[in-house]
Amino acid sequence: MILSDSSIRSLIESGELSIDPLYDDTIRENGVDMRIGPEIAFPIVTGEVIDPIRDNPAKHFSVREIPDEGIIIPGNTSVLLVTEEYVRMPKDVAALCGLRSSIARWGFVAPPTLIDAGFEGQLTIEVMWTRPAPVKLYKGIRFLHVVFFRVEGEVERPYSGSYQGQRGVTLPKKLESSAQRNKV
């Protein structure tokens, strides 16, 4: 079941859920809105084949600070944005992120992103600008809507993966194939 604004406030007041900073307009009817943080990662396009199993992800992204006057994103470009907010999730609550409809109507899209129970950190979200003309983005724009829900049953292993505690734009990790994994 999706949590209401009053349920979200109760979680925050009890200290189970933390969102920092928390603005007056952050908590919405059935979720929270989050803002574009200070960094952005642009893809580095070289024309060579990208190998997500072997390549260092830093070879394929350029992380930059977003200046106060904004930053221009070229047409038809996918970028990584980080939220201004740092979140700490309860062990029995997860969340689903999607773009706010106002930013989506301009021509931005983003794949749905899950925040696992027990996750802590700033969120790094892939956002695609779908129009051919360049666009300017500014830090502080409310761009992401996060809907929280209770996880049914006890989570035996709350999130503790490699993205735990992340700050700033966090690049993807290398992928692994089933041939690389130890079978259980």
Judge whether 123 and 84 are in contact, CB under 8 Å: no
DSSP states of 57-89: GGGGEEEEE--TT-EEE-TTEEEEEEEEEEEE-
Judge whether 37 and 84 are in contact, CB under 8 Å: yes
Catalytic-role residue among 39, 84, 126, 156: 126
- DSSP 8-class letter at 131: S
121 CB-side CA count, 13 A: 21
Please say if 126 is a catalytic residue. yes
- What three-state secondary structure class fits 111? coil
- Active site residues per annotation: 126
